[in-house]
A and B are shown apart, each in its own frame.
Chain A
Amino acid sequence: MNRLFLALVLPASLLLSGCPDSSTGIDDQGASVSDFDWHMPDWVPLPVEPDYNPITEAKFQLGRYLFYDTDLSSDGSMSCESCHQQDKAFTDGVARPTGVTGMIHPRNSQSIANAAWVRTLTWGNPTLTDIEQQIVIPLFGIDPVEMGVNEANQDLVLSRLQRKTEYQTLFAEAFPDQSDPMYDEQAWQNIIHALASFVRGMTSFGSNYDLYTAGQSDALSTSAKRGMNLFNSEKLECFHCHEGYTLTASVRDRRRTPNIPAPFFNTGLYNIDGISAYPEPNTGKHELTGKTSDMGLFRPQSLRNIALTAPYNHDGSTATLREVILNYAAGGRNITSGPNTGDGRMNINKDPFIVSFTITEQEIEDVVAFLESLTDYEFINNPRYANPWQPPKDQDLTP
């Protein structure tokens, strides 16, 4: 039949043979180029780096040593790892962590995996967009005190670091343009920049779900596949806030120029005044803006490694993934006793996607199976992100 077609159209084909050729030139202006090895699949767009702190392997490695160094706290008892532990996808497994002075943090420790890609870095602060800014808070913050560094003890803390021989080389390699990066006035800035580089370089895109989306159809169990379909369905609506390669709507990368405000949502967890109030001081975005319409609005979390990061929600008030799903199924949380009594389902700031739905036990299991498929065991076992002050572990956490 092809020959017949060709015979019929050959004269016309010859007539058109002189037409110019088509092409599409594409220039991404260097967005896909980086000197740093991000240790991630090439389909993931590169994250945004601040011009003042471009990531290097040397800064990443220095940051790794600092991240796990308890001498970075006022009394030498805490490191960043205290609240961000690798086996828990860099969370801590408790509802709310405790700082060096015993103050309990009002909010739950977040996973810092893929922190380079989120638009805002904490539960409720819309202004905190650079990791370098955020790291200052656990180091120097006073409400709550976390690592307890302050003007009075910062030289002492620094001197403890300076006494460690490992840092002599690490600092010099990380900041080769500085003559004395560990001792001069830039020392604390260098520490922050190195820590930010380590956090920025923590990438987790190696879950079974990623294998499945890459074409390995048996990477997900049948139950997880059913759960994935539920997750992406109009019935559950999960995907609206937990979308894309980061599984959160709060995402930025080199390809994006966001033209809408960073997302914060009220999921109807509380309603202690019968209108919209959340328990102080955890009022979310409202804590910064003071607007009543921002009451109870929190950043949607990435669901990557979510099975390892219990307990859940901004205050760690939900113990399991099953409870999280049931809260959503109810269209919010109705607390019937205690100081936080109130019907979150009636919260006026509740996001329109938080609507009640019916779900069977089997469907809950399926959704949990899907969420468990988001665990990146390579990430939590990767020596690259492990404590350099300890010998490598033999233990593999992969089930």
Chain B
Amino acid sequence: MIRRLSAALFLAPATASAHYIPSTDVPTTVDVGMVTTWRSSSLINDYQYWQVPGTLMGGHAWPAEKGVEVDEMTLSLAHRLDQNLYGVVEVGSHAGDSDDHGGVELEHAYVGWVCCSDYGPWVAEVGRMSALFSPALAEHATQRLASEAPLTLDVLFGRHFHDDGARLWWHETGGISAGAEIWRGKAYPATDTSDGGAWDVFARYNWRGERLSWETGAWFYSAAAEARADHRYGGGHQHVPVAPPGETATAFSDIRFTGDSDIYGVHARVNYRLSQDITLALDGEWIHANLDGVLHDSIGRQADLDGDQSGGWIQPSLRWRRHTFGVRAEYLTTDNTVVGPAAPQLAEESGLANPDDHDPRRFTVIWHWQWRDNIALRAEAIRDESLTETDNRWTLGVIWRQRLWPGKTKSSHHHR
């Protein structure tokens, strides 16, 4: 029993399963995921905007908020159509600044084709999907050890990456996966305008032994953007928010970016099973981005931007039976040059200005307890230095992750 449990826990929660191919044996599966977390404090105050100094942000990178919040909910349906074809649909909602932003959206709707056996090695997929180039980017909060998405992914990819596109890849054959993806550009940091869009290539290798298993990979992603807005707060008709008496609210500066983002990264993960009860793991990713383009706004101000930004995290963890203890240390460095008559103003209003030469950091200490097979509890202590003012917060959360149909049958092929 304990051996079986250990084997199951070896996969969850630290192993992600953001992408899967339904099997021919159990052609239809329905999965649900939900994370609700209480946080002791908010990263920013009401009527403020979360803008990490030295960066442009966007997408769905909402700040942590005090109190109880449903971080995420996902409901997935996958169906194997025949030996070669399958389809996946997933809807999800994520915590946001308001109900409008936290509404349910279609995250996955794609059709896949495998050739030439049930699982490959060639897989082609088309539709709305999560990207596969960075395993962490496709992870949900139910799948991560920490409740909050990595800071670097928040900054460079706007947290969630769901886009319309196509993917062709060589799928886990001899431990090797490699492929290419092309995107319409709906996902930050691209835009889906005529000259927008994105593409990426990736490769990774995994190996599993009796006690040791590891995976490593590298990727390159290139995005083009035209008048890209920070859609968290801007991108449309702007007005000064209405604040209660005594509060001060300012309108969000709707600064746009037109240009290219070339981003590459390497990731690695090592698991070592010390005993039936104890497993050690080390997870990490390093990402570098080059931003080359123009900052501009609706009143004709503009300035050239040349930015180099690097970030990543390292996450050692120890699993003992149903308990996992981990630490995630994250960093981000930014080296930007903004040139043009309006450079001081655009840099400040876009968030690229970094007058204190602040180095964003975040440290998370995690305890994850797989209380029941499908329910886990999570507690964290977070020291958040993403802003110049440090925020220390605690979290307590519950994670529900379950295959609703067909019960406990193990039917799909999971991988990172």
What is the interface of chain A, defined by CB distance below 8 A to chain B?
1-2, 4-6, 8-9, 11-13, 15-16, 19-29, 31-32, 45, 232, 234, 244, 251-252, 254-260
Contacts and interface: CB of A to CB of B under 8 A. Distances in A.
Contacts of A15: 314, 329
A28 B365 CA distance: 43
B244 interface: no
Nearest to B304: A27
Contacts of B299: 244, 251, 256, 258
A19 to B, nearest CB: 5
23 contacts: A8-B383, A9-B383, A11-B327, A12-B328, A13-B361, A16-B329, A19-B331, A20-B333, A21-B333, A21-B357, A22-B334, A23-B334, A24-B54, A24-B335, A25-B338, A26-B337, A26-B339, A29-B339, A31-B341, A32-B344, A255-B342, A256-B299, A257-B300
Interface in B316-373: 327-329, 331-345, 347, 352-354, 357-361, 363, 365
Contacts of B360: 22
Contacts of A1: 392
A29 B329 contact: no
A26 B336 CA distance: 8
A351 to B, nearest CB: 16
Contacts, number: 122
A234 B239 contact: yes
Interface of B: 53-54, 239-240, 299-302, 310, 314, 327-329, 331-345, 347, 352-354, 357-361, 363, 365, 381, 383, 392
Contact of A26 (B239, B353, B361): B353
A5 B359 contact: no
A2 B392 contact: yes
B350 to A, nearest CB: 10
Nearest to B364: A9
A13 B363 contact: yes
Contact of B361 (A11, A16, A28): A16
A27 B329 contact: no
Contact of A23 (B310, B342, B354, B383): B354
A257 B343 contact: no
B359 A22 contact: yes
Given A4-B381, A8-B381, A22 B314 contact: no
A16 to B, nearest CB: 4
Max chain A C-beta neighbours (<10 A), residue from B310, B345, B357, B358: B345
B354 to A, nearest CB: 4
Contacts of A255: 301, 341-342, 345
Nearest to A13: B363
A259 B365 contact: no
B381 A24 contact: no
Contact of B343 (A20, A28, A252, A260): A28
A15 B316 CA distance: 12
Nearest to A46: B341
Given A24-B336, A257-B301, A259-B300, A12 B239 contact: no
A26 B344 contact: yes
A25 B338 CA distance: 6
Nearest to A48: B341
